[in-house]
Amino acid sequence: MVNYKPKDFAELLGVSVKILQRWDREGILKAHRTSTDRRYYTHDQYLQFKGIQTENDVRDV
């Protein structure tokens, strides 16, 4: 699984790091945290943000 630092993830999304931090605080796009409390984001979060279905989104109905 690919993990992104906030700066790299912000560039992918075309937003600033400050926006990512605000979204994390507001629960819009929650960051994962390392054991040292640093934020990071996953490739699945990127796909979900872009509206691309991931394996984890597929559910039997």
Domain ranges of the chain: 3-54
CA-CA distances (angstroms) from residue 40 to 14, 26, 44, 49, 59? 16, 16, 12, 15, 26
Please tell me the pTM assigned to this model: 0.80
- At 56 the pLDDT is 60
Q: What is the DSSP letter of 54?
A: -
Per CATH, the architecture of 3-54 is what? Orthogonal Bundle (1.10)
Closest CA to 6 of 30, 26, 35, 36: 30
The model's pLDDT over 1-60, given as tens digits with 9 standing for 90+, comes to 799 999 999 999 999 999 999 999 999 999 999 999 999 999 999 999 988 766 665 554
Residue 51 DSSP SS3: coil
Q: Two tokens at 42?
A: 């996953």
Which residues on neighbouring strands pair with residue 41, listed in sequence order?
A: 4
